[in-house]
Amino acid sequence: MKRLGIKVALIDDSSIIRNSIQEIISIWGYDVVLEAVNGKDFFSRLTSANAPDICITDLNMPVMDGFETIKELREKWPHVKVIAFSISGNKREEERALLLGAHAFVSKSASIHELHRSLQKMNQTTPL
């Protein structure tokens, strides 16, 4: 598939989830530029050289969870689009993530096409 030139970061404490999503979105043409096990790990490695256009973050992680990560991203890296990604289909989690500044919420139990649609929507608003 053609490369889209869209840089993506993946934050999830599960290596299986990170590796699977990385493989899938790479097939879709996205460039995974940064992977991290939690928000603290992500921010310790984030630089202007590897800053993503889109960040997919799990919400439930140890050390620094996705809610804290979304809040800090919106404050310090406001140009980065955020997709909250959680195993929970909990409406409260979704609402909280969106209130903190996430641009979309995708349940891990949803079809992979939901993630694809969310990424495509981010493309339409992400300057290249």
DSSP secondary structure, 56-117, as one string? EEESS-SSS-HHHHHHHHHHH-TTSEEEEEES---HHHHHHHHHHT-SEEEETTS-HHHHHH
Q: Each residue of 55-99: pLDDT tens digit?
A: 999 999 999 999 999 999 999 999 999 999 988 768 888 899 999
Sign of the dihedral through C-alpha 113, 109, 85, 3: negative
- What was the pLDDT predicted at 87? 84
User: Are 60 and 108 in contact, with CB atoms under 8 Å apart?
Assistant: no
pTM: 0.91
Q: Each residue of 25-53: pLDDT tens digit?
A: 999 999 999 999 999 999 999 999 999 99
**Three-class SS state of 12:** coil
- What was the pLDDT predicted at 125? 55
Fold of the domain spanning 7-125: Rossmann fold (3.40.50)
Domain locations in the chain as residue ranges = 7-125
